[in-house]
């Protein structure tokens, strides 16, 4: 299992994939606005429990992204009608997501090539 | 990118409430608990599991806090406040560091700003590194010149230069003969001077080829200054003619504002040479009119190569010169910069070296102080580290502190530099080029600040990177040995450097003292000189010059309190070369003319009879001149004692007759009527030459002379009134004869003091550096010793408890510091002996290894340094053993 810490590094195994947590958050928010707990849950489910977010690390990352202007936060009502902070992607965030996805594909492809060739 | 910055900026100012974050985290935990309960856990277990999954809530909260854009700013403010509190706690440390940096940066920047203009500034010509000055030098003329004929040959056959150009050596006084007349200086230059220098006029054009030919139209370029002052920057000047020396001259262009003549002489008007070369070759005894020449090297040719390539041409030219003069002549080729700076260069390099030494001492001091502080704070660092401060935070803190110190030092230093610069300009002699244009150079300020900051960072950060060990928490300090020895080395090098500085300063002071107390052989008190240069247009004939000066002499004789008036063409002790000739040109009647050229020089002046009485030069033999002789048809001379002994050893010189004149067909015969005591005549530092005086009779032929020199005469006045009272009256008297003339009055004291201006400037500057350096070094030594004492307080307590006396402790501390002083002084002495050689050309009457200087400097340094150690040593001796033993 991979654990993501606050810097978005995978701490199990190696430090190779920086910014991964940011990418996952952005990708999750691209579907719909979501609160913190929902984001953690969604990443867990989508990765079929393989990626477990260090939930404590999620919030500093969310705040950092917000300060960068990639996501914005609004208070709203949750499914069970409680006050929750919903994050959604801004236009700059969408652009950033596209860029990071592309980057990810490039790196993943490159690594795959190396692994296959070896 | 911009948008991102804006977003950050917005968050920088919006304050997030802590409760908002709490609510967000609480919501997460509740949702997780709910989910866990839905999965079948009990309420308690679900809450517990939720918290476990989440990890540290407090940590998450802190990390969110740190992610805020404000966070760094807050940390910076915190660090700054913390540093300021620290500075307030140890004001002595803070003030010492800032003062050290201030002195270091201030002195360095100010002096470098001055030196930079002299050594490194670019001359106001295009590619000035390729410009050279060349020509012949000999014992009578040390500034390179060339005869017209040689010049034509050289110009036709030279290879190393792209272009050669020249200007005349002739008189430059001229008169603007318009409604309000003024005396100007007019230089004649070859038509290609400006293109060769790579300069173009700001208005109008350079001379055309047809204007640089014999019989060409009267045209001129005028200086920016003249254009501004006289014509109000009016561009219509180009169509105007101005009247110079009675001739209409058309102005074709205006020189750039920053233009300088190659010899830095002032020039208001430039004429093109309109010389017929063929005719010119026959002038001046068949040598052609003399020139100063300048050239632009071809790319890639060095000055030395150019000199070697010109040597054959020079040797060829020499064949035209009489054999006895030939061997005194040499070819000189030097860069324009060298030509312009003359001997200021050495002084500039010396100052530069002094600045580096002071900077070195200052940096060593800062390093030493910071290391001591660092060592003293290791415990504090250990505590902070134990409380959870990360390495990054400690580094940031140390960085903030160092930067604060360096920046305050830099600001103080810049203020000091500005003040010093004004002081330099105020006390500097007139002959330091460009000093009036000097200003603080931003690059230099940056450089000095950078050095200080680097020095601060290097030594300020060192303690942080040491791993704080557990033993530091316990307060045991055992690992200071290496640091202490490094600091001791720093102190030794500081003492050595200030030793070198002190030696240099002391040598200059001794030399300056010698200069000030030089016996001149003339009276300097209550003696006023009035120097007037007549324009060659209004006073073209010797008759008119004689008439003017006779009239002036007559008027001044009746001035208030005046009891002596003499007229001379020059005044000692100034160095002048035109009134000099070779000793072979004096032929004593009844002796054969010497064939062998000895190269010895003799000076002469033309004076009125009262010259000796007015200047208090005793006549040791014979009568001297009388007023009656002024009207005589015969020539009379007075010899200086040195010349009388040289020409008439063991004989009575009075009554002898001698023929004076160089190779003239009809040399004049002079009768020696007296022998006068020797006076200084080669400047203050120059060689004292034998001299003779010609009586300047009331005959037009005695007022005939060569160029500029013949147009100038000095009236010497002795008066009981102070100079300030007399000067205005003298001006009115000159103006009464001719209102257009400019008058230069100065007391003999002022003239002499002007001669020592240069040495005084160097002495004050180097002295200033020496004192600064010594002060800093002493502070450094004091710091090291008191630190060592503080570190050994416990040990001293133990020693005392075991029976050591106070005297013993005093000796213990002093012995250590004396070792440092001895090492430093020894090294410094060796270095001073090696370095002081560069000063030799600046010294007068004192050797570079003057033993008295070395002894005095050593004693002063050791004494001052010893006092600096006595204070902490006494403190060590006062240690109360009980307190010392308990303190840790």
Q: Summarize pLDDT for B743-761 with one digit per residue, the tens.
A: 888 888 888 777 777 777 7
Query: What's residue B660's pLDDT?
Result: 81
Q: Is B7 on the interface with A (CB under 8 A)?
A: yes
DSSP 8-state assignment for residue B584: G
Asked if B422 contacts B438 with a C-beta cutoff of 8 angstroms, the reply is: no
Q: Is A54 on the interface with B (CB under 8 A)?
A: yes
Q: Is B646 on the interface with A (CB under 8 A)?
A: no
DSSP 8-state assignment for residue B823: H
* HSE-CB of B609 using CA atoms within 13 angstroms: 15
For residue A60, list chain B residues with Cβ-Cβ distance below 8 A. Answer: 60, 63-64, 66-67
Asked if B697 contacts B631 with a C-beta cutoff of 8 angstroms, the reply is: yes
Looking at B100-109, B141-150, B152-161, B680-689, which range is the least confident one?
B680-689
For residue B35, list chain A residues with Cβ-Cβ distance below 8 A. Answer: 41
* HSE-CB of B502 using CA atoms within 13 angstroms: 27
Average pLDDT, chain B: 81
Nearest to A85 among B24, B60, B68 (CB): B24
Percent of chain B with pLDDT over 90: 8
Asked if B530 contacts B723 with a C-beta cutoff of 8 angstroms, the reply is: no
More confident residue, A45 or B295: B295
- Show Cβ contacts of residue B636 under 8 Å, excluding neighbours closer than 6 positions: B625, B629, B670, B671, B672, B673, B694, B695
Query: How many residues does this entry show for chain B?
Result: 888
Three-class DSSP labels, B594-625: CCCCCCCEEEEEEECCCHHHHCCCCEEEECCC
Is the pLDDT confidence value at B663 over 70? Answer: no
Q: Is B5 on the interface with A (CB under 8 A)?
A: no
Nearest to A37 among B8, B28, B64 (CB): B28
Q: Is B72 on the interface with A (CB under 8 A)?
A: no
Q: Is A84 on the interface with B (CB under 8 A)?
A: yes
For residue A22, list chain B residues with Cβ-Cβ distance below 8 A. Answer: none
User: Among candidates B54, B677, B865, B106, which has minimal Cα distance to A52?
Assistant: B54
Asked if B692 contacts B604 with a C-beta cutoff of 8 angstroms, the reply is: yes
More confident residue, B375 or B817: B817
Separation in Å, CA B618 to CA B75, B397, B605, B674, B815: 83, 78, 16, 10, 61
3-class SS at B802?
coil
| Token pair of B30 as six digits | 């509740």
- Rounded to whole angstroms, the Cα distance separating B160 from B36 reads 95
Q: Is B39 exposed, middle or buried (0-12, 13-18, 19+ CB in 10 A)?
A: exposed
| Token pair of B251 as six digits | 């102005």
Is the pLDDT confidence value at B594 over 80? Answer: no
Looking at B326-335, B483-492, B815-824, which range is the least confident one?
B483-492
| Token pair of B659 as six digits | 């023929």
For residue B25, list chain A residues with Cβ-Cβ distance below 8 A. Answer: 59
Is the pLDDT confidence value at B367 over 70? Answer: yes
More confident residue, B880 or B231: B231
Looking at B79-88, B144-153, B178-187, B194-203, which range is the least confident one?
B178-187
pLDDT tens-digit profile of B625-635?
888 888 888 88
Query: How many residues does this entry show for chain A?
Result: 118
| Token pair of B249 as six digits | 């001259």
Nearest CA in chain A to B14: A67
- Rounded to whole angstroms, the Cα distance separating B80 from B404 reads 8
Q: Is B833 exposed, middle or buried (0-12, 13-18, 19+ CB in 10 A)?
A: middle
- Rounded to whole angstroms, the Cα distance separating B435 from B114 reads 7
- Rounded to whole angstroms, the Cα distance separating A91 from A74 reads 16
Looking at B343-352, B433-442, B532-541, which range is the least confident one?
B433-442
For residue B69, list chain A residues with Cβ-Cβ distance below 8 A. Answer: 67
Tell me the average pLDDT across B582-608: 78
Query: What's residue B468's pLDDT?
Result: 52
Greatest mean pLDDT among B108-112, B257-261, B301-305 lies in: B301-305
Asked if B292 contacts B135 with a C-beta cutoff of 8 angstroms, the reply is: yes
The crossing angle, in degrees rounded to 10, of helices B757-791 and B91-115 is 150
For residues B231-254, b (16+ Cβ closer than 10 Å) or e, as one string? beeeeebeeeebebbeeebebbbb
Asked if B611 contacts B568 with a C-beta cutoff of 8 angstroms, the reply is: yes
Backbone phi and psi for residue B801, each to the nearest 5 degrees, phi listed first: -65, -30
Tell me the average pLDDT across B537-558: 86
- Rounded to whole angstroms, the Cα distance separating B491 from B361 reads 9
Greatest mean pLDDT among B456-470, B508-522, B771-785, B853-867 lies in: B853-867
- Rounded to whole angstroms, the Cα distance separating B268 from B255 reads 9
Is the pLDDT confidence value at B335 over 90? Answer: no
B55 vs A78: CB contact, 8 Å cut-off?
Answer: no
Is the pLDDT confidence value at B171 over 80? Answer: no
B53 vs A78: CB contact, 8 Å cut-off?
Answer: no
Q: Are strands B247-254 and B712-719 parallel, antiparallel or unpaired?
A: unpaired
For residues B71-109, b (16+ Cβ closer than 10 Å) or e, as one string? eeeeeeeebeeebeebbeeeeebbebbbbbbbbbbbbbb
In angstroms, what separates the C-alpha of B27 from chain A's closest C-alpha? Answer: 7
Confidence grade of residue B465 (pLDDT, cut at 50, 70, 90)? low
Query: What's residue B118's pLDDT?
Result: 66
Tell me the average pLDDT across A19-26: 82
Is the pLDDT confidence value at A86 over 80? Answer: yes
Size of interface A-B (CB pairs under 8 A): 74
DSSP 8-state assignment for residue B435: G
Confidence grade of residue B705 (pLDDT, cut at 50, 70, 90)? low
B31 vs A78: CB contact, 8 Å cut-off?
Answer: yes
Nearest CA in chain A to B56: A56
List helix spans (H) across B428-529: 442-465, 470-474, 481-516
Is the pLDDT confidence value at A10 over 50? Answer: no
Peptide bond preceding B709 in cis form (omega within 30 of 0): no
For residue B24, list chain A residues with Cβ-Cβ distance below 8 A. Answer: 36, 59, 84-85
- Show Cβ contacts of residue B126 under 8 Å, excluding neighbours closer than 6 positions: B197, B198, B199
Interface test with A, best of B18, B36, B38, B54 (most A CBs within 10 A): B54
For residue B34, list chain A residues with Cβ-Cβ distance below 8 A. Answer: 80
B7 vs A69: CB contact, 8 Å cut-off?
Answer: yes
Query: What's residue B305's pLDDT?
Result: 92
Asked if B429 contacts B120 with a C-beta cutoff of 8 angstroms, the reply is: no
Strand partners, B668: B660
Confidence grade of residue B87 (pLDDT, cut at 50, 70, 90)? confident
B31 vs A85: CB contact, 8 Å cut-off?
Answer: no
ipTM, two decimals: 0.78
Q: Is A8 on the interface with B (CB under 8 A)?
A: no
More confident residue, B599 or B800: B800
Query: What's residue B579's pLDDT?
Result: 67
In angstroms, what separates the C-alpha of B74 from chain A's closest C-alpha? Answer: 16
Interface test with A, best of B28, B53, B59, B66 (most A CBs within 10 A): B28
Please tell me chain A's helix, strand, coil percentages from 3-state DSSP, rounded to the nearest 5.
55, 20, 25
pLDDT tens-digit profile of B599-622?
677 888 888 998 998 888 899 888
Is the pLDDT confidence value at B492 over 90? Answer: no
Q: Is A110 on the interface with B (CB under 8 A)?
A: no
- Rounded to whole angstroms, the Cα distance separating B356 from B352 reads 6
B55 vs A64: CB contact, 8 Å cut-off?
Answer: no
Is the pLDDT confidence value at B342 over 70? Answer: no
Q: Is B49 on the interface with A (CB under 8 A)?
A: no
Separation in Å, CA B286 to CA B281, B282, B289, B645: 6, 4, 9, 36
User: Among candidates A41, A39, A45, A2, which has minimal Cα distance to A23?
Assistant: A39
A60 vs B66: CB contact, 8 Å cut-off?
Answer: yes
Greatest mean pLDDT among A2-11, B64-73, B248-257, B674-683 lies in: B248-257
Confidence grade of residue B295 (pLDDT, cut at 50, 70, 90)? very high
Q: Is A83 on the interface with B (CB under 8 A)?
A: yes
A56 vs B57: CB contact, 8 Å cut-off?
Answer: yes
Asked if A28 contacts A34 with a C-beta cutoff of 8 angstroms, the reply is: yes
Nearest CA in chain A to B29: A37
In angstroms, what separates the C-alpha of B45 from chain A's closest C-alpha? Answer: 18
Separation in Å, CA A75 to CA A72, A81, B577: 10, 12, 96
Query: What's residue A76's pLDDT?
Result: 83
For residue B55, list chain A residues with Cβ-Cβ distance below 8 A. Answer: 54-57
Is the pLDDT confidence value at B777 over 70? Answer: yes
Confidence grade of residue B780 (pLDDT, cut at 50, 70, 90)? confident
Is the pLDDT confidence value at B724 over 90? Answer: no
**What is the per-residue DSSP string for B202-236?**
SEE----GGGGSTT---EEEE-HHHHHHHHTT-GG
Asked if B652 contacts B645 with a C-beta cutoff of 8 angstroms, the reply is: no
Asked if B482 contacts B817 with a C-beta cutoff of 8 angstroms, the reply is: no
Confidence grade of residue A15 (pLDDT, cut at 50, 70, 90)? very low
For residue B28, list chain A residues with Cβ-Cβ distance below 8 A. Answer: 35-37, 40, 55, 59
Nearest to B60 among A59, A64, A68 (CB): A59
- Rounded to whole angstroms, the Cα distance separating B150 from B247 reads 31
User: Among candidates B531, B528, B529, which has minimal Cα distance to B709?
Assistant: B531
pTM higher than the cut 0.95? no
Query: What's residue B14's pLDDT?
Result: 63
Tell me the average pLDDT across B761-777: 80
A55 vs B3: CB contact, 8 Å cut-off?
Answer: no
Looking at B392-401, B458-467, B654-663, which range is the least confident one?
B458-467
A37 vs B32: CB contact, 8 Å cut-off?
Answer: yes
Q: Are strands B241-244 and B182-189 parallel, antiparallel or unpaired?
A: unpaired
Strand partners, B221: B253, B270
Confidence grade of residue A4 (pLDDT, cut at 50, 70, 90)? very low
Backbone phi and psi for residue B584, each to the nearest 5 degrees, phi listed first: -65, -20
Query: What's residue B299's pLDDT?
Result: 92
User: Among candidates A60, A64, A88, which has minimal Cα distance to A75?
Assistant: A88
Separation in Å, CA B821 to CA A99, B505, B610: 67, 20, 61
User: Among candidates B412, B445, B444, B486, which has minimal Cα distance to B100?
Assistant: B412
Confidence grade of residue B578 (pLDDT, cut at 50, 70, 90)? low
A36 vs B8: CB contact, 8 Å cut-off?
Answer: no
For residue A92, list chain B residues with Cβ-Cβ distance below 8 A. Answer: 3-4
């Amino acid at each position: 299992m991979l654990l993501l810490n606050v810097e978005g590094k995978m701490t199990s195994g190696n430090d190779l994939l920086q910014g991964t947590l940011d990418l996952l958050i952005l990708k999750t928010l691209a579907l719909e606005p979501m609160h913190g707990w929902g984001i953690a849950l969604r990443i867990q489910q989508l990765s079929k429990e393989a990626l477990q977010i260090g939930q404590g690390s999620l919030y500093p990352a969310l705040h950092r992204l917000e300060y960068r202007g990639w996501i914005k936060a609004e208070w709203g009502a949750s499914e069970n009608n409680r006050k929750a902070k919903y994050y959604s992607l801004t236009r700059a965030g969408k652009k950033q997501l596209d860029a990071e996805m592309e980057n990810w594909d490039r790196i993943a492809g490159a690594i795959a090539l190396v692994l296959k060739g070896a | 990118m911009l948008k991102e910055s804006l977003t950050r900026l917005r968050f920088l100012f919006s304050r997030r409430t802590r409760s908002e974050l709490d609510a967000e985290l609480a919501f997460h935990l509740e949702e997780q608990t709910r989910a866990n309960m839905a999965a079948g856990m009990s309420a308690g277990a679900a809450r517990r599991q939720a918290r476990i999954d989440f990890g540290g809530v407090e940590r998450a909260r802190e990390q969110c806090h740190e992610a805020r854009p404000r966070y760094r700013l807050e940390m910076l403010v915190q660090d700054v406040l913390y540093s300021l509190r620290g500075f307030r706690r140890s004001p002595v440390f803070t003030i010492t560091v800032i003062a050290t940096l201030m002195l270091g940066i201030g002195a360095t920047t100010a002096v470098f700003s001055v030196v930079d203009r002299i050594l490194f500034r670019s001359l106001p010509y295009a590619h000035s590194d390729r410009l050279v000055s060349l020509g012949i030098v000999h014992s009578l003329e040390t500034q390179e010149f060339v005869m017209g004929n040689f010049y034509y040959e050289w110009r036709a056959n030279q290879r190393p230069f792209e272009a050669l150009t020249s200007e005349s050596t002739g008189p430059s006084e001229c008169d603007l003969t318009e409604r309000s007349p003024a005396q100007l200086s007019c230089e004649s230059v070859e038509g290609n001077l400006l293109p060769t220098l790579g300069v173009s006029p700001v208005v109008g054009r350079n001379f055309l080829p047809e204007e640089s030919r014999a019989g060409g139209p009267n045209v001129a370029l005028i200086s920016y200054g003249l254009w501004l002052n006289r014509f109000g920057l009016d561009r219509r000047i180009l169509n105007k003619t101005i009247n110079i020396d009675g001739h209409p001259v058309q102005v074709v262009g205006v020189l750039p504002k920053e233009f300088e003549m190659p010899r830095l002489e002032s020039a208001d008007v430039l004429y093109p040479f309109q010389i017929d070369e063929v005719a010119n070759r026959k002038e001046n005894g068949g040598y052609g009119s003399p020139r100063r020449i300048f050239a632009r090297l071809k790319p890639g040719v060095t000055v030395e190569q150019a000199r070697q390539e010109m040597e054959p041409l020079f040797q060829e030219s020499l064949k035209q010169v009489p054999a006895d003069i030939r061997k005194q002549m040499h070819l000189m080729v030097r860069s324009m910069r060298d030509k312009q700076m003359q001997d200021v260069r050495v002084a500039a390099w010396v100052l530069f070296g002094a600045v580096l030494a002071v900077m070195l001492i200052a940096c060593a001091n800062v390093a030493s102080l910071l290391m001591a502080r660092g060592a003293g704070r290791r415990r504090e660092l250990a505590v902070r580290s134990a409380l959870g401060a990360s390495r990054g935070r400690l580094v940031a803190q140390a960085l903030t502190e160092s930067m604060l110190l360096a920046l305050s030092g830099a600001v103080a230093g810049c203020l000091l530099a500005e003040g010093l610069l004004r002081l330099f300009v105020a006390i500097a002699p007139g002959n330091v080029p460009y000093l009036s244009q000097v200003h603080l150079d931003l690059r230099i300020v940056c450089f000095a600040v950078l050095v200080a900051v680097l020095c601060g960072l290097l030594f300020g950060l060192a303690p942080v990177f040491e791993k704080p060990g557990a033993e530091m928490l316990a307060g045991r300090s055992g690992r200071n040995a290496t640091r202490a020895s490094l600091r001791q080395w720093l102190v030794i090098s500081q003492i050595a450097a200030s030793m070198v500085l002190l030696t240099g300063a002391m040598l200059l002071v001794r030399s300056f003292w010698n200069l000030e107390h030089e016996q001149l052989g003339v009276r300097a008190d209550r003696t006023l000189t009035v120097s007037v240069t007549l324009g060659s247009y209004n006073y073209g004939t010797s008759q008119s010059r004689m008439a003017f000066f006779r009239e002036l002499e007559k008027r001044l004789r009746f001035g208030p309190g005046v009891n002596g008036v003499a007229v001379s063409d020059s005044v000692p002790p100034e160095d002048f070369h035109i009134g000099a000739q070779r000793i072979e040109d004096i032929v004593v009647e009844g002796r054969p003319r010497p064939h062998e050229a000895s190269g010895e020089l003799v000076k002469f002046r033309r004076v009125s009879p009262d010259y000796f009485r007015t200047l208090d030069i005793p006549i040791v033999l014979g009568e001297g001149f009388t007023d009656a002789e002024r009207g005589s048809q015969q020539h009379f001379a007075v010899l200086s004692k040195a010349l009388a002994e040289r020409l008439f050893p063991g004989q009575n010189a009075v009554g002898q007759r001698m023929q004076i004149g160089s190779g003239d067909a009809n040399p004049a015969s002079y009768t020696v009527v007296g022998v006068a005591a020797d006076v200084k005549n080669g400047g203050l530092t120059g060689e004292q030459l034998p001299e003779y005086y010609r009586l300047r009779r009331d005959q037009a032929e005695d007022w005939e002379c060569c160029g500029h020199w013949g147009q100038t005469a000095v009236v010497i006045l002795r008066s009981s009134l102070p100079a300030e009272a007399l000067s205005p009256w003298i001006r009115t008297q000159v103006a009464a004869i001719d209102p257009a003339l400019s008058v230069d009055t100065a007391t003999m004291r002022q003239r002499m003091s002007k001669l020592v201006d240069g040495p005084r400037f160097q002495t004050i500057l180097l002295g200033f550096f020496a004192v600064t350096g010594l002060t800093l070094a002493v502070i450094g030594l004091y710091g090291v010793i008191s630190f060592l004492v503080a570190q050994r307080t416990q040990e001293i307590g133990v020693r005392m408890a075991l029976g050591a006396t106070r005297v013993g402790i005093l000796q213990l501390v002093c012995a250590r510091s004396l070792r440092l002083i001895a090492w430093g002084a020894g090294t410094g002495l060796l270095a001073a002996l090696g370095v002081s050689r560069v000063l030799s050309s600046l010294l007068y009457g004192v050797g570079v290894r003057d033993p008295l200087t070395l002894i005095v400097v050593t004693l002063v340094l050791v004494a001052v340094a010893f006092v600096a150690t006595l204070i902490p040593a006494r403190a060590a001796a006062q240690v109360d053993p009980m307190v010392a033993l308990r303190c840790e």
